[in-house]
């Protein structure tokens, strides 16, 4: 879903023929996959939570820059999902850094 979200944002800025339609399809697929992620597994590890938070951020960026009214409405509706993933990520990082990823994520 992360790669789909990245491609959707890139497609929104591309001037090739039909790129906007393809970007919208990738946005919708990334959104559906990201929203279904908690239902595919009982637990989400730190790496996947980080990837999922990036996906939700890119989905929001696409919704803001695309000019598509429906995509913008999805940004407003599903913003809470981004907040939940980031909250899960921050809760899973309690304690001293134990890996290079934890050290990179330290603010």
What is d(CA 24, CA 65) in angstroms, rounded to the nearest whole number?
Answer: 12
Model confidence at 107, in pLDDT bands (50, 70, 90)? Answer: very low
Greater pLDDT, 78 or 21: 21
Is pTM beyond 0.75? Reply is no
pLDDT of residue 37: 79
Structure confidence by residue, pLDDT tens digits, 56-97: 889 889 988 888 888 888 888 777 777 777 776 677 665 555
Greater pLDDT, 38 or 27: 27
Contact 46, 89 (CB under 8 A): yes
């Amino acid at each position: 879903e992360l790669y789909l979200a990245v491609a959707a944002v890139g497609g929104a800025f591309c001037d090739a023929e039909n790129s906007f339609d393809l970007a919208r399809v990738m946005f919708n697929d990334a959104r559906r996959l990201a929203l279904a992620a908690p239902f595919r597994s009982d637990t989400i590890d730190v790496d996947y939570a980080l990837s999922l938070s990036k996906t939700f951020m890119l989905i929001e960026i696409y919704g803001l820059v695309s000019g598509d009214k429906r995509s913008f409405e999805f940004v407003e509706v599903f913003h809470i999902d981004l907040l939940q993933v980031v909250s899960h990520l921050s809760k899973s990082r309690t304690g001293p850094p134990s890996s290079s990823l934890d050290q990179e994520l330290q603010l």
